[in-house]
């Protein structure tokens, strides 16, 4: 089972992934927790360039996220899924569609196609969308902002809106949760949806 966690920055993805990992591991599942960008050695270098380097042109940014993803899916995620593990992943294709497609105003459909090519069409079984407002996300992040987090609130508002559109288009494959709920409440909603895989 492949579960992706998506949402604006500061939405609480890392927190929820850890809570779900604990729950699944406690009943004996082989659980792999990973993330994009940066889930591999190559990805760590790409992450550094993308989030903490200098200027990157929007199309170069889209290609670098897709390159990280291609390597990550081929070398970490597909092998884990093949051996029967549950993969909990912090960000996936929808991050590119929302941030590069809607945020940077590249064509979201082209961005999606690029990532589907990169991953040979691997689609999550479930995507948990933690819906956070740009203001709440900014407050939770505190003073430290990477290159994308430094974008203005209207950028993050476009990202949020596009995420919600993606979820509305495929309600069977998405779980949308209000990220302002208490941690344990969100964890219970996610656990109920995941059930016993």
**Binding region for ligand Z5A (CB under 6 A):** 7, 9-15, 36-37, 51, 65, 91, 95-96, 99-100, 140-141, 148-149, 182-183, 186
- What percent helix, strand, coil does the chain show, rounded to 5? 60, 15, 30
Return the half-sphere exposure (C-beta side, CA atoms, 13 A cut-off) of residue 2.
17
Question: Alpha carbon of 154 to those of 8, 11, 139, 181, 197: distances in Å?
Answer: 12, 17, 16, 23, 38
**Min CB(84)–ligand Z5A separation in Å:** 25
**Quick check: 111 and 100 in contact, CB under 8 A?**
yes
Per-residue DSSP letters for 105-146?
A: -S-HHHHHHHHHHHHTS---SEEEEEE--HHHHHHHHTT---
**Min CB(81)–ligand Z5A separation in Å:** 19
Q: Using the Cα atoms of residue 106, residue 110, residue 113 and residue 117 in order, give the sign of their dihedral.
A: negative
Residue nearer to ligand Z5A on the CB measure, 57 or 196: 57
**Min CB(153)–ligand Z5A separation in Å:** 12
- Taking the C-alpha atoms of residue 180 and residue 12, their distance in angstroms, rounded to an integer, is 9
Residue nearer to ligand Z5A on the CB measure, 14 or 168: 14
Residue nearer to ligand Z5A on the CB measure, 14 or 48: 14
**Min CB(145)–ligand Z5A separation in Å:** 8
Strand partners, 35: 90
């Amino acid at each position: 089972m492949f579960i992706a966690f998506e949402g604006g920055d500061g939405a609480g993805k890392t927190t929820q992934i850890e809570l779900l990992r604990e729950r699944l591991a406690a009943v004996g599942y082989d659980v792999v927790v990973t993330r994009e960008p940066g889930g591999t050695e190559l990805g760590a270098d790409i992450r550094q360039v993308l989030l903490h380097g200098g200027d990157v042109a929007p199309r170069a940014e889209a290609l670098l996220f897709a390159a990280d993803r291609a390597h990550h899916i081929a070398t970490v995620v597909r092998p884990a899924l093949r051996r029967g593990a549950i993969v909990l992943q912090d960000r996936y294709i929808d991050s590119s569609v929302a941030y590069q497609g809607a945020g940077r105003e590249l064509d979201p459909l082209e961005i999606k196609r690029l990532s589907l090519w990169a991953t040979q069409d691997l689609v999550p079984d479930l995507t948990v969308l933690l819906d956070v407002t740009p203001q709440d996300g900014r407050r939770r992040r505190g003073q430290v902002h990477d290159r994308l987090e430094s974008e203005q609130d209207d950028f993050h508002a476009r990202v949020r809106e596009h995420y919600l559109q993606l979820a509305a288009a495929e309600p069977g494959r998405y779980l949308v949760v209000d990220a302002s709920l208490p941690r344990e409440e969100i964890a219970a909603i996610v656990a109920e949806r995941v059930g016993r895989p």
